[in-house]
Structure 1
């Protein structure tokens, strides 16, 4: 039985990487810390370790409800500590009375420093306060080099991890009926678009499934998938809930509200 049968083709490279981390722990009998993983990658890591095996995995990204977390693969004898995850919390000091900075600008500024996305976790915005979590090994570099975001001069102030802002996210659920679980079909229903418009946006690289850009309009969605369309927001597929008399799929989906 192939390990890949439970995963989409585009996930196979990460499956191989996570399996390699697990094998490294088995070979060296010591913990292995990864970069920040998105929730789907965390699910894959959990499924590869399973329950009761010689290798376990745990996650930490600043607080329990954050999306992006570092994974720690470790042998069953080991007891993980918070310091093992090597997280640093920064608050962005900027003249908030005069300029406005948004989440995408922070992400862009960090990426423009040449940092890989796996080196930093959630970017949290609560009114004018902006924070982000990063890996300890790039913290000093970020602090020295992130001096402007957009047109605003900024300074990074390190804070204890216990000071992280925890946004209150709730999900507004809705019931949809769709003819299939194709991405373009479900996205059209979720975001109130025509099928042709939905397909065009996907093919124009304006769609993400589980935080990854996809151009495959025919991609078959599954329960737990997160979908986003540029400029339209994001939604989560919670579960299929049977069929209608006309054999359409009843789908429970939801939209986040902070």
Structure 2
């Protein structure tokens, strides 16, 4: 949010748009709300339609940016054998690249697509050679590419609170105690950041990653049940084994 405040200050001072880094859905909501409250127009894009992680353009008026204005490059990654999302993201971050410079990452067996800040695309294509122990080859995609559509299984959960352990337990069909053990073991991430706090608050828009289970995206809260429990609509994307 401090970075967003800096962007807003620049827009007001210069009358020019400002481009953010890649933001998670929660960050997009917060940034959009703050920028619109300051009288700005906001548009987002993540390299393809329906991208989860997007860059935002904060604009002083009703301008009409094109896809190229978001400075996003798509990388095509081929591997010698099947790779995982975690191994590939770990390799990218392990090479010194900040998470905010990387957008969506779609992995399908021995192939993957990755959206990155245009400024680091050539660096990644030259320097990334392995994902874990698997050799990979990276190419910059110049033409338009079709991203695989991510399909979540929709479910409605009933939780006592918006604590992380409560949401994980309901989504994974575990006891609260099992969920707490998994979280404390460092196997759960909130918005791509690992946590061991069972009481971490979960908000609408958050994506939870549970190692060995998959991902849970909190779509919306639809009120309280007659017993006072919170009803959540979530999407569940099982992990590939």
Q: TM-score, normalised by structure 2?
A: 0.86
Identify unmatched segments of 5+ residues in structure 2. none
2:116 to 134, 149, 161: 134
1:69 to 47, 54, 58: 54
Q: How far 1:144 sits from its partner (Å)?
A: 1.7
Alpha-carbon separation, structure 2, partners of 1:126 and 1:36 = 22
Task: Check the 8 A contact 2:121/2:140 in 1, yes or no.
Answer: no
In the alignment, structure 1 residue 90 sits paired with structure 2 residue 75:
yes
Q: How far 1:117 sits from its partner (Å)?
A: 1.0
Alpha-carbon separation, structure 2, partners of 1:218 and 1:152 = 36
Task: Check the 8 A contact 1:171/1:255 in 2, yes or no.
Answer: yes
Q: How far 1:27 sits from its partner (Å)?
A: 0.8
Q: TM-score, normalised by structure 1?
A: 0.81
In the alignment, structure 1 residue 159 sits paired with structure 2 residue 141:
yes
In the alignment, structure 1 residue 181 sits paired with structure 2 residue 181:
no
Q: How far 1:220 sits from its partner (Å)?
A: 3.9
Task: Check the 8 A contact 2:43/2:58 in 1, yes or no.
Answer: yes
In the alignment, structure 1 residue 36 sits paired with structure 2 residue 18:
no
Task: Check the 8 A contact 1:31/1:73 in 2, yes or no.
Answer: yes
Task: Check the 8 A contact 1:226/1:235 in 2, yes or no.
Answer: yes
Stretch of structure 1 that moved more, 195-204 or 213-222: 213-222
Task: Report matched runs for 1:143-222 at 5 Å.
Answer: 143-160=125-142, 162-163=144-145, 165-222=146-203
Identify unmatched segments of 5+ residues in structure 1. 1-14
Correspondence for 1:8: none
| TM-superposition CA deviations, 1:225-245 (whole Å, max 9, x none) | 332322222223333444444
Q: How far 1:127 sits from its partner (Å)?
A: 4.0
Q: How far 1:39 sits from its partner (Å)?
A: 1.3
Alpha-carbon separation, structure 2, partners of 1:249 and 1:121 = 31
Q: Which has the larger radius of gyration?
A: 1
Task: Check the 8 A contact 1:92/1:130 in 2, yes or no.
Answer: yes
Tell me how large the CA RMSD over aligned residues is. 2.4
1:162 partner SS: coil
Task: Check the 8 A contact 1:26/1:55 in 2, yes or no.
Answer: no
Over 3 Å counting, the alpha-carbon distance change for 1:18 and 1:69 in structure 2 is same
Alpha-carbon separation, structure 2, partners of 1:102 and 1:149 = 8
Alpha-carbon separation, structure 2, partners of 1:117 and 1:44 = 18
Over 3 Å counting, the alpha-carbon distance change for 1:225 and 1:111 in structure 2 is closer
Q: How far 1:161 sits from its partner (Å)?
A: 5.0
In the alignment, structure 1 residue 27 sits paired with structure 2 residue 27:
no
Correspondence for 1:225: 206
Q: How far 1:55 sits from its partner (Å)?
A: 2.1
Task: Check the 8 A contact 1:45/1:57 in 2, yes or no.
Answer: no
